[in-house]
Amino acid sequence: MFRNQIMCGESQHLLSALPENSVDLVVTDPPYLISYKDSFGRKVRNDDNPDGVLPVFNEIARVLKPESYCISFYGWSAIAQFVNCWQEAGLRIVGHLVWPKGYARRAGHVRFAHEAAYVLAKGYPDFPEKPLNDVQRWIYSGNASHPTQKAVQVIKPLIQAFSRPGDLVLDPFSGSGTTAIAAALSGRDYLGIELEPGYCTLARNRLASVHLPKAV
Ligand SMILES: C[S@@+](CC[C@H](N)C(=O)[O-])C[C@H]1O[C@@H](n2cnc3c(N)ncnc32)[C@H](O)[C@@H]1O
């Protein structure tokens, strides 16, 4: 019932309808809590509102199956808030992934030239059969459809390492639907949830134009 669709609405609310222990893997890219605005003036909903982002992790922890993973990108400047909420939700930090970018969009005390994500565990999952290097190759998406769009090629290795064919992969901050596309291309089921109706439509259109591998 909750498989292979993009649901439009607020994640904490919509996830409350999902049964507990029903999702195999979460791969998500939440608002970084940095009041982001790109060079075209595009913003990300709730990027200035921790209360619209952090409580979603309680629902993530509830719907994840026991002994499973959640991969979450994050913004370094809000790391204390993210770590605190993950710990309160019962998600343990078991790994950290870094993507050196080779370019910097912004600079402050340092030039900001990498992306990062934490590998979080619910319970004590088995190690992946083929563990990923924790330094990964970055591919720039071009951000054509969404101001913080990730490339499908960046997300696919995460899904393939931390789940199995046929598993259900959830992204409760779905944006343009990148995680859902990467999951579908990897032979996994997906559930994307997104607040902005325009991005829901975009994600559904992107998914409709994806050429999926033939089932064997
Ligand atoms: C950083 S973006 C994700 C971009 C995505 N990785 C992509 O490749 O397009 C985060 C998304 O979460 C959405 N969002 C923010 N708060 C939300 C909430 N409480 N429930 C559902 N979606 C939310 C925003 O509208 C935004 O599109």
Q: Residue 184 carries which side chain, given as an amino acid letter?
A: A
Query: Binning pLDDT at 50, 70 and 90, where does residue 212 land?
Result: confident
Task: Tell me what pLDDT residue 193 has.
Answer: 98
- Residues of the chain above pLDDT 90, percent: 88
From the CA of 172, give the closest atom in ligand 1. 21
Q: Which CATH superfamily is domain 5-208 in?
A: Vaccinia Virus protein VP39 (3.40.50.150)
Is-contact 70 60, C-beta < 8 A?
A: yes
Is the pLDDT reported for residue 41 higher than 70? Answer: yes
Among 32-36, 97-101, 120-124, the range scoring the smallest mean pLDDT is: 32-36
Q: Each residue of 69-116: pLDDT tens digit?
A: 999 999 999 999 999 999 999 999 999 999 999 889 889 999 999 999
How far is Cα of residue 187 from the mean position of the Cα atoms in its chain?
Answer: 17
The greatest distance separating any two alpha carbons of the chain, rounded to the nearest whole angstrom, comes to 52
CA distance 123 to 83: 17
Task: Tell me what pLDDT residue 192 has.
Answer: 98
Pairing of strands 64-73, 114-122: antiparallel
Residues in the chain, total:
216
Task: Tell me what pLDDT residue 214 has.
Answer: 62
Give the single-character DSSP code of 140.
Answer: -
- Return the domain boundaries, the chain: 5-208
Taking CA atoms only, the protein residue closest to ligand 1 atom 26 is 175
The residues facing 98 across adjacent strands are: 116, 135
Query: Which residues touch 198 (CB under 8 Å, ≥6 apart)?
Result: none
Structure tokens at 15: 């996830």
Q: Is 90 left (phi over 0), alpha (psi -120 to 50) or beta?
A: left
Structure tokens at 70: 């959640």
Region 171-198 average pLDDT: 98
Give the single-character DSSP code of 19.
Answer: P
CA distance 77 to 164: 33
Q: Each residue of 136-156: pLDDT tens digit?
A: 999 999 888 889 999 999 999
How far is Cα of residue 143 from the mean position of the Cα atoms in its chain?
Answer: 16
How far is Cα of residue 206 from the mean position of the Cα atoms in its chain?
Answer: 17
Which uninterrupted H or E stretch holds 84? helix 79-89
Structure tokens at 25: 């893997």
Query: What is the pLDDT of the chain when averaged over all its residues?
Result: 95
Region 195-204 average pLDDT: 97
How far is Cα of residue 86 from the mean position of the Cα atoms in its chain?
Answer: 14
Region 39-67 average pLDDT: 96
Ligand 1 mutation pick, 173, 190, 193, max ligand atoms within 8 A of CB: 173
33 three-state secondary structure: coil
From ligand 1's centre to the CA of 215, what distance in Å? 30
- Which residues does ligand 1 sit against, CB inside 6 Å? 10-11, 29, 31, 44-46, 52-53, 56, 146, 148-150, 172-173, 175-176, 178, 193-196, 199
Task: Identify the CA nearest to 27 among candidates 114, 132, 112, 104.
Answer: 132
Is-contact 192 55, C-beta < 8 A?
A: no
From ligand 1's centre to the CA of 65, what distance in Å? 23
